């Protein structure tokens, strides 16, 4: 049975003592981030859940989370209810999280980074679960594929917004989606779901456009995503596999044929230039781009084994040294995702529903961000 109201955390007077706090400044944080939650009991459970994520070592099961912050025997049930079934707007809470970060001082968002989060799952009934190659495990596994937008500013990359990829098999099965409350507008190709996430996060920080960074090696339809990026006015720098197709842009009027980046870099003249430079920069365009429009830069860095790391960017006039911090962003983001999984319970969500997954990732983001910002200001 679905409860309409979660039991409030028990007061000391009824024999169920709330355990001593280690985070005395948490209340103002949760009031800012989760002030959008409509009920006082929801806001109290948000605070307890974040406190538990910060304090509980090892696996973050609901039972262990509850035991770390309260003596109430019903707390784990109420905490599970708050995350899985209680109705609250996770997008409003994520905007509140970004607002709190901006209130802590330092520069506003200087870069956005899109990163994947592969979350292993047993069974077939959790929202969006499917078989996919997990580059961290090096094999195909049963998993959910989350995507996270991280905002980089004074406190490093911080996870702000999330999307849960809903694959085609789920999109075609309305009863399956209905069972775990996946909305119709959550479906679509991977590149389009990533684009929607990017546009939403960027819209939360109006004003000067911060560049978007990503390593797209994990995205099968990365060329469609790149084409969408190139058509937009959003500045970007993306690491790409050398199978991406590009056209070399020259002063000659005739268009050159599209080649893969690998083919372009094995051209004798290009290869010789790459040997002489630490970081090669070439003017290119994506196939199908109108002449004179959507011009990009291909950046290539040779590895000792002769292979190359390659990036595409529309930041045509930025000096190469200024691009180096952006080129490092995806690896820093991957480190954050690893920390979220190992230390903040990203992979420990005990539920199957689409709203529950979004509630959990929002709370995980809030706990990580609070810990990072407070550690930096200590």
pLDDT digit string, tens, across residues 43-68: 999 999 999 999 999 999 999 999 99
Distance (Å) of CA 8 to CA 34, 115, 240, 372:
16, 36, 49, 28
| DSSP3 helix / strand / coil % (the chain, rounded to 5) | 45, 20, 35
For 151-209, write each residue's pLDDT tens digit.
998 888 999 999 999 998 898 888 999 999 999 889 999 999 999 999 999 898 876 78
* Partners of residue 145 on adjacent β-strands: 118
Which residues have a Cβ under 8 Å from the Cβ of 87 and sit 6 or more positions away? 355
Residue for token digits 């959003």? 234
Low-confidence ranges of the chain (pLDDT < 70): 1-24, 207, 251-255, 268-277, 290-294, 376-378
What was the pLDDT predicted at 256?
Answer: 75
pLDDT digits (tens, 9 = 90+) for 162-175: 999 999 889 888 89
Q: Is the pTM of this model over 0.85?
A: yes
DSSP lists the bridge partners of residue 284 as 248, 296
Q: How far is the C-alpha of 130 from the C-alpha of 127, rounded, in Å? A: 9
């Amino acid at each position: 049975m679905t409860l309409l109201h979660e039991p409030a955390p028990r007061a000391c007077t009824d024999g169920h003592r709330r355990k001593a706090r280690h985070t005395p400044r948490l209340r103002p944080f949760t009031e800012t981030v989760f002030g959008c939650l409509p009920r006082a009991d929801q806001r109290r459970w948000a605070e307890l859940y974040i406190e538990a994520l910060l304090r509980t070592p090892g696996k973050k099961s609901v039972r262990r989370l509850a035991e770390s912050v309260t003596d109430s025997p019903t707390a784990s049930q109420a905490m599970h209810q708050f995350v899985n079934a209680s109705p609250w707007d996770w997008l409003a809470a994520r905007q509140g999280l970004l607002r709190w970060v901006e209130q802590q001082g330092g520069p506003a968002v200087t870069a956005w980074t899109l990163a994947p989060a592969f979350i292993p799952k047993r069974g077939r009934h959790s929202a969006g679960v499917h078989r996919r190659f997990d580059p961290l495990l090096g094999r195909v596994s049963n998993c959910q594929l989350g995507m996270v937008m991280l905002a980089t500013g004074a406190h490093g990359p911080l996870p702000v917004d999330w999307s849960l990829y809903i694959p085609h098999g789920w999109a075609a099965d309305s009863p399956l989606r209905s069972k775990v409350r996946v909305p119709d507008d959550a479906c679509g190709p991977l590149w389009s779901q990533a684009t929607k996430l990017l546009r939403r996060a960027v819209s939360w920080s109006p004003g000067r456009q911060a560049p978007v960074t990503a390593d797209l090696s994990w995205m099968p339809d990365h060329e469609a995503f790149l084409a969408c990026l190139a058509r937009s006015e959003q500045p970007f720098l993306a690491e790409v596999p050398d199978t991406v197709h590009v056209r070399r842009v020259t002063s000659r009027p005739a268009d050159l044929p599209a080649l893969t980046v690998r083919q372009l870099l094995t051209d004798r003249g290009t290869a010789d230039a790459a040997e002489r430079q630490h970081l090669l920069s070439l003017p290119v365009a994506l196939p199908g781009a109108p002449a004179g429009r959507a011009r990009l830069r291909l950046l290539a860095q040779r590895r000792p084994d002769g292979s190359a790391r390659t990036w595409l960017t529309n930041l045509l006039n930025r000096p190469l040294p200024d691009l180096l911090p952006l080129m490092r962003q995806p690896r820093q983001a991957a480190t954050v995702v690893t920390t979220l999984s190992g230390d903040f319970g990203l992979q420990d969500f005990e539920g199957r529903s689409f709203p529950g997954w979004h509630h959990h990732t929002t709370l995980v983001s809030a706990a990580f961000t609070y810990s990072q910002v407070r550690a930096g200001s200590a």
